Chain A
Amino acid sequence: MMPLGFTRLDFYYLLPELIVTAGAVALLGGDVLLARGRHRLLTWVGLAFLGAAAVALAFISGREGTVAQGMYSVDGFAVFFKLLFLVAAALTILMSHRYLDVEGARPGEYYFLVLCATLGMMVMAAGVDLVTLFIGLETMAVSFYILVGYIKPSRRSNEASIKYFLLGTFSLGLLLYGMSLLYGLTGSTELRTIATTLAGGRGGPLLALAVMLLVAGMGFKIAAVPFHAWAPDVYEGAPTPITAFISVGSKAASFAMLLRIFFEGLPAFRMDGLGTIFGQPLGWTYFFYVLSIVSMTLGNLAALTQNNLKRMLAYSSIAHAGYLLIGIVAATPRGVMAALVYLMVYTFMQLGAFAIVVLMRRQDVIGDELKDLSGLSVRQPAAAVAMLIFMLSLGGIPPTAGFMGKFSLFAAAIESGYVGLAIIGVLNSAISLYYYVRVVVYMWVRREEAAAPPVVMSRALALVLIVAVAGTLVLGVYPRALFDLAQASASTLGRADQALGLLR
């Protein structure tokens, strides 16, 4: 039995989370204390705290172990995801800088909620206990419920918020039910203990039910078909930077949690142990296999006919959840690595694409329709080129990062023997090119609005685009560093068993 309470070292290892928390509090304070005209300062306050958290992250990287009585892990896997969240949050804040002015919304609480969501994501990536994970998930989800509805005068925003909240709560119920079944089967909420307890015997139908509920709950969070229905509505209604943050941060965090639960908590049931299906042994990869195919195919098909850019990106994001699940299905270290690589790559290209949508938002134009992009190559050539790069990357065309990500995912699938899945993935990539290239066509070929006033880009948004383009191109031309980092991070998954924070 471990001694109760925290130690000082615990706080050291939790420093990034604590800094983000402090940042959130500071932002809330600033919102109240600062004069109205000074509120723009809050952007830089938020960024400063995120930067500080990244520095703190650098200090604890390379360590392995658990803190807070084995409920919270410190390992490369968590560091990788926390880095991703911090980058995504920083870019989101930069994107919001001018957007909030245009929408006439107050930045203080908004940034506070962004940081809260970031905190929740960090907990989701690092938790090794069902309760910790659940708390992280709730922290993130509640923040997002509010953020989605943050534009109070906008009916679309309000509607999206309430939908997201109700559906999210329901899916959380499913997830919680699954977790409670796991607890009932093993008597523990610690993933490691669950794994060791279940390792010997067969799970039986109750375990299968628990897995199904967990898959459904997580499937909702990563927006996999058929648990995806919220995504298009929420993506369309939410403030665009928040849409970007949900599609990148929330998805990555949910994947982190999914990997934790299934690879650390249920590693013995990958291929076998849950019963039989059509005479074959049933493992949890089977569920993801189905979800992956259905998500890729339906997501891409639905995206084909969208005329709203945010809705299209929503369906594209559903399809990308399908691609990412390929790495989970492969269920090898290489598969996990590929998923990590793809998530990082996806962060840059997806955020970049949404940054373009943010760019198109002006005082009187919502700017999320495809035709709003007409003639962008004339009105703002740099943005058009950036969007071209993001679209090519999302479609998986070399030399962009998207190609490297897809390449590693499909390679992992083939290596694990899922050749069919890889073929479906490649076919889907081909289909998806249609609607990605369609965006390019609008920007270059359709010139109806070429006479429209040029699009003005704020400096903060330009920075976002530069970072996103750089990420998309550099990781495409020189992906080795990312591959190495992802490999190192993936290999730490499920290895941290020593308590770091306890004095011995």
Chain B
Amino acid sequence: MRLIWLLPLIPAAGAAVNGLAGVRWFGRAAAGAVACLAMLSAFAVALTASIALIRLPPEARAYDVTLGPWLPPIPLATAHGIGSFAAEWAFRLDPLATVMILVVTGIGLLIHVYATAYMMDEPRGGYARFFCYLNLFCAFMLLLVLASNFLVMFIGWEGVGLCSYLLIGYWYEKGSAATAGRKAFITNRIGDWGFLLGVFGVFHVFGTLDFHAVAQAVSSLPIEQSHFGELSIICLLLFIGATGKSAQIPLFVWLPDAMEGPTPVSALIHAATMVTAGVYMVGRNAVLFQHAPLVLAIIAIVGTLTALMAATIGLVQNDIKRVLAYSTVSQLGYMFLAAGVGAFAASTFHLLTHAFFKALLFLGSGAVIHAMAGEQDMQRMGGLRRFLPVTFVTMMIGALAIAGIPPLAGFFSKDEILLQAFSKNRALWALGSVTALMTAFYMFRLVALTFYGVYRGPSWPRHVPPAVGGPATLSIATAHGVRHPVDPDAHGLAHVPQHDLSHGPAHPVPIGPAAHAHEWHGPHEAPSAMTWPLMALAVGAIVCGFISIPPALGGTNALERFLEPSFGGTPAAATVEHARQPRADAEPATADQASNGREWALMLLAVTLAGAGVAAAWRLYVTRPEIPVRLAARWPGLHSLLWHKYFVDEFYGATLVRSTFASARGLWTFDARVVDGAVNGSGWMTRTVSWFSGIFDRVVVDGLVNFVGWSADEGSLVVRRGQTGLLQNYLLLIVLGVCVFLTVYLFAR
């Protein structure tokens, strides 16, 4: 545990090696090996530290490491006297951080392995660059989760945002990817603005930025039940930061676009880790948020609405990754719903299970895209289960898990959230349940469209045609920017994808030998470096729910009890979270029985809803595929509303973006006329003064120097005279300086 500070450093070192040396000198194998090795050692450290932490008694499960101060403490005025603004490189390993480091390093490792094969089609330098970014991301993410104060967390917070930007725009020559990266970055900046203001607020109120100190200070303050006081303002600002990072209303628009990045990036950053940073941050400050119940209510409502809205959009999307992206937004909404009703442990539990099955689903979709040579439109897939058995089975497991079918992981965590919501507010619970129904529906719609039915994709030649075509064809392909990963070892040499399937004609277009000498051979299973992570994640998606079986099913809620100390364990938390935990001494048996009965009923209902969603998807997309078309024709307005994602992007475009551009243009005019005028004026003045000084330097100083140089050639007499003149000048200046002092002293009393 002493070495937890190494955790962010190991991937950072990997990133440094790949970024400094790898981009230039490493082959693909070396770059991938460096990155994976870094993640492997980070995972080993994380595992060791976690085991060491779990061995401790529950009340002692927190370990602080302070590497040292960063800035010297600066006294600053706060609301209550003088605080010392100190920035320390301080890390803290507690149960919550333990869960997060295991997720980041464990799932990160699997995704790194997967990416070594998936990115194989990249040029050598780009390959190393990709792994440099990916490792750097993990480093910042670990910094974020291990931080023991807001400032260190903020470094990680900004760092993961940066890496997200770099990785979304990884194919920067492709316009849409570059735009998506920018959109993600700018949207996140809005959230970061809120977060930073929140941090300022925390310092202003508490005079410290240490999480633990803040939690201790806040627990002595009254809960702001009915008024919107300073704690509520801080919490609201922090939550704005969380909505940006975790893609909640109103800042969720960037996440679907972020799918422009490579699929492993979507899996790691935009499903498993970074987007959960907001949830993590809220959980990290659980005590603070519990003192602002109004903000908690806002969080719950925002979370529920986001979950519902994203799920409805997901119902009609055809891009396989976009469905998963909206699903991610929706599941993050669940996590905020849980946090909002005070069930921080349930929120973290869902974060954990979601990391498994959503990473699995994304990687599976990557394998599908890989098989289809870059095709992402599910309408051009179908019947792929024959070609991709491993991907099919693992994605099926992922879909069952997210749908909430017992006994897979999603069932336990979602059930826990819905149960907590039920005990807090029936309306939230109802909306959450509807969302669960939709989740099951759209996931099985995805499975049905992709793996069942008839194959609707392009045909492929049964033999290898002679390579014709040339740079022109290639340039079309690169202009579309669809690159396709391929592992030559796994496919043999006679097999490489074709690039422009999704945009080009339905029959295969041969691509010039300069780029790829080979030809797409129809859907094919991914190489083993991609299927192994899929299988590992599938196992995780099956079993990770068992670490926190609710008492109604005979379990002990082990994870929630483990996490309890991280959320402060204040009375408020205890009552909300553990009302129905078996407490052998205190709780009467009847109450236990009653709550168990209720829980059983809720579970049954949830499973029924999930089953209904699955069945509906099955009927609509496998047995009666004509129904969806008819439905869409019958309610064109509704379909168009969902298809266009509630026109949120258009709304933002028309209002915020346009007004921003308009005001920017206005400011530009102002800038060009007034500011530039002033700047140019002062610039002109600076230039003039500088010119004079330059003239002085040239004419007087240099002139004399040159004169000396010139005259040295001419004759000794002139030289001496010239040199004397020069020094007199300098001496005069010195004497003048003293004289000015003297004059001022004597006459300006």
For the complex, what is the distance from the CA of A166 to the CA of B690, rounded to whole Å? 28
For A212, A227, A279, A431, the residue with the greatest tally of chain B CB atoms inside 10 Å of its CB is A212
Asked if B69 CB lies within 8 Å of chain A CBs, one says yes
CB distance B686 to A209 under 8 Å? Answer: no
Contact of A212 with B742 at beta-carbon distance under 8 Å, contacts A155-B712, A167-B730 already known: yes
Contacts of A171 in B (CB 8 A): 734
Contacts of A213 in B (CB 8 A): 738
Contact of A226 with B734 at beta-carbon distance under 8 Å, contacts A232-B701, A277-B748 already known: yes
Asked if A275 CB lies within 8 Å of chain B CBs, one says yes
Residue-by-residue, is A206-246 near B (CB-CB < 8 Å gives 1, otherwise 0)?
00110011011001100000110110110000000000000
Contacts of A278 in B (CB 8 A): 748-749
Asked if A162 CB lies within 8 Å of chain B CBs, one says yes
Contacts of A163 in B (CB 8 A): 723, 726-727, 730
Asked if A386 CB lies within 8 Å of chain B CBs, one says no
In the complex formed, the residue of B with least CB distance to A171 is: B734
Contacts of A274 in B (CB 8 A): 745
Asked if B655 CB lies within 8 Å of chain A CBs, one says no
Asked if B708 CB lies within 8 Å of chain A CBs, one says yes
Contacts of B742 in A (CB 8 A): 209, 212
Contact of A304 with B686 at beta-carbon distance under 8 Å, contacts A174-B734, A226-B733 already known: yes
CB distance B730 to A301 under 8 Å? Answer: no
CB distance B69 to A480 under 8 Å? Answer: yes
For the complex, what is the distance from the CA of A209 to the CA of B742, rounded to whole Å? 8
CB distance A226 to B745 under 8 Å? Answer: no
CB distance B705 to A159 under 8 Å? Answer: yes
A-B CB contacts (within 8 Å), total count: 95
CB distance A483 to B734 under 8 Å? Answer: no
CB distance B741 to A215 under 8 Å? Answer: yes
Asked if A59 CB lies within 8 Å of chain B CBs, one says no
Asked if A298 CB lies within 8 Å of chain B CBs, one says yes
Contact of A159 with B708 at beta-carbon distance under 8 Å, contacts A212-B741, A227-B737, A298-B693 already known: yes
For the complex, what is the distance from the CA of A174 to the CA of B737, rounded to whole Å? 12
Contacts of B48 in A (CB 8 A): none
CB distance A302 to B693 under 8 Å? Answer: yes
CB distance A212 to B745 under 8 Å? Answer: yes
Contacts of B744 in A (CB 8 A): 277
| Band of interface residues on A | 35 or more
CB distance B738 to A216 under 8 Å? Answer: yes
Contacts of B70 in A (CB 8 A): 477-478, 480
* CB-contact partner of A212 in B71, B690, B708, B738, under 8 A: B738
For the complex, what is the distance from the CA of A166 to the CA of B749, rounded to whole Å? 35
In the complex formed, the residue of A with least CB distance to B740 is: A226
CB distance from A226 to the nearest CB of B (A): 4
Near A by CB (< 8 A), chain B positions 60-98 give 68-72, 74
In the complex formed, the residue of A with least CB distance to B709 is: A155
Near B by CB (< 8 A), chain A positions 181-227 give 205, 208-209, 212-213, 215-216, 219-220, 226-227
Asked if B513 CB lies within 8 Å of chain A CBs, one says no
For the complex, what is the distance from the CA of A381 to the CA of B485, rounded to whole Å? 33
Asked if B731 CB lies within 8 Å of chain A CBs, one says yes
Asked if A411 CB lies within 8 Å of chain B CBs, one says yes
In the complex formed, the residue of B with least CB distance to A487 is: B72
In the complex formed, the residue of A with least CB distance to B705 is: A233
CB distance B690 to A302 under 8 Å? Answer: yes
Contact of A277 with B734 at beta-carbon distance under 8 Å, contacts A229-B729, A302-B690 already known: no
Near A by CB (< 8 A), chain B positions 691-737 give 691, 693-694, 697, 701, 705, 708-709, 712, 723, 726-727, 729-731, 733-734, 736-737
Contacts of B731 in A (CB 8 A): 167, 170
For the complex, what is the distance from the CA of A302 to the CA of B690, rounded to whole Å? 6
Asked if B689 CB lies within 8 Å of chain A CBs, one says yes
CB distance A230 to B689 under 8 Å? Answer: no
Contacts of B691 in A (CB 8 A): 305
Near A by CB (< 8 A), chain B positions 114-144 give none
Contacts of B737 in A (CB 8 A): 216, 219, 226-227
Asked if A450 CB lies within 8 Å of chain B CBs, one says no
CB distance B745 to A233 under 8 Å? Answer: no
Contacts of B708 in A (CB 8 A): 159
For B690, B709, B723, the residue with the greatest tally of chain A CB atoms inside 10 Å of its CB is B690
* CB-contact partner of B734 in A205, A216, A233, under 8 A: A216
Contacts of B693 in A (CB 8 A): 298, 301-302, 305
CB distance from B682 to the nearest CB of A (A): 10
Asked if A457 CB lies within 8 Å of chain B CBs, one says no
For B70, B701, B737, the residue with the greatest tally of chain A CB atoms inside 10 Å of its CB is B737
For the complex, what is the distance from the CA of A163 to the CA of B729, rounded to whole Å? 11
Contact of A480 with B72 at beta-carbon distance under 8 Å, contacts A159-B705, A227-B737, A229-B729 already known: yes
CB distance B68 to A480 under 8 Å? Answer: yes
CB distance B69 to A227 under 8 Å? Answer: no
For the complex, what is the distance from the CA of A279 to the CA of B70, rounded to whole Å? 44
Residue-by-residue, is A252-266 near B (CB-CB < 8 Å gives 1, otherwise 0)?
000000000000000
Contacts of B727 in A (CB 8 A): 163, 166-167
CB distance from A417 to the nearest CB of B (A): 16
In the complex formed, the residue of A with least CB distance to B695 is: A305
In the complex formed, the residue of B with least CB distance to A170 is: B731
* CB-contact partner of A301 in B686, B741, B749, under 8 A: B686
For the complex, what is the distance from the CA of A446 to the CA of B257, rounded to whole Å? 38
For the complex, what is the distance from the CA of A216 to the CA of B738, rounded to whole Å? 6
CB distance B749 to A279 under 8 Å? Answer: yes
For the complex, what is the distance from the CA of A275 to the CA of B745, rounded to whole Å? 8
CB distance from B687 to the nearest CB of A (A): 8
CB distance from B377 to the nearest CB of A (A): 43
Contacts of B749 in A (CB 8 A): 275-279
Near B by CB (< 8 A), chain A positions 286-323 give 287, 298, 301-302, 304-305
Contacts of B748 in A (CB 8 A): 277-278
Near B by CB (< 8 A), chain A positions 264-288 give 274-279, 282, 287
Contact of A302 with B694 at beta-carbon distance under 8 Å, contacts A155-B712, A174-B738, A277-B745 already known: yes
Residue-by-residue, is B215-251 near A (CB-CB < 8 Å gives 1, otherwise 0)?
0000000000000000000000000000000000000
For the complex, what is the distance from the CA of A213 to the CA of B737, rounded to whole Å? 10
For the complex, what is the distance from the CA of A209 to the CA of B701, rounded to whole Å? 30
Near B by CB (< 8 A), chain A positions 445-504 give 477-480, 483
CB distance A167 to B734 under 8 Å? Answer: yes
CB distance from B90 to the nearest CB of A (A): 13
CB distance from A267 to the nearest CB of B (A): 21
In the complex formed, the residue of A with least CB distance to B730 is: A229
CB distance from B298 to the nearest CB of A (A): 36
In the complex formed, the residue of B with least CB distance to A282 is: B745
In the complex formed, the residue of A with least CB distance to B88 is: A480
For the complex, what is the distance from the CA of A313 to the CA of B607, rounded to whole Å? 75
In the complex formed, the residue of A with least CB distance to B728 is: A166
For the complex, what is the distance from the CA of A429 to the CA of B305, rounded to whole Å? 50
Contacts of A162 in B (CB 8 A): 723
Contacts of A431 in B (CB 8 A): 686
CB distance from A258 to the nearest CB of B (A): 16
* CB-contact partner of B730 in A174, A212, A230, A480, under 8 A: A230
Residue-by-residue, is B42-62 near A (CB-CB < 8 Å gives 1, otherwise 0)?
000000000000000000000
For the complex, what is the distance from the CA of A500 to the CA of B738, rounded to whole Å? 39
For B74, B736, B742, the residue with the greatest tally of chain A CB atoms inside 10 Å of its CB is B742
* CB-contact partner of A305 in B69, B74, B690, B730, under 8 A: B690
CB distance from B432 to the nearest CB of A (A): 45
Contacts of A298 in B (CB 8 A): 693
Contacts of A155 in B (CB 8 A): 709, 712
Could you name 16 residue pairs across A and B whose Cβ atoms are closer than 8 Å? A155-B712, A159-B708, A170-B734, A171-B734, A219-B737, A274-B745, A278-B748, A278-B749, A287-B741, A302-B693, A304-B686, A305-B691, A411-B74, A480-B69, A480-B71, A483-B72
Shortest 4 CB-CB distances between A and B: which pairs?
A226-B737, A229-B730, A305-B694, A212-B741
Seed contacts A159-B708, A301-B690; 19 additional CB < 8 Å A-B pairs: A162-B723, A163-B730, A167-B727, A167-B734, A174-B734, A174-B738, A212-B742, A215-B741, A226-B737, A229-B701, A229-B733, A230-B730, A275-B749, A277-B748, A278-B748, A301-B693, A302-B694, A302-B697, A480-B72
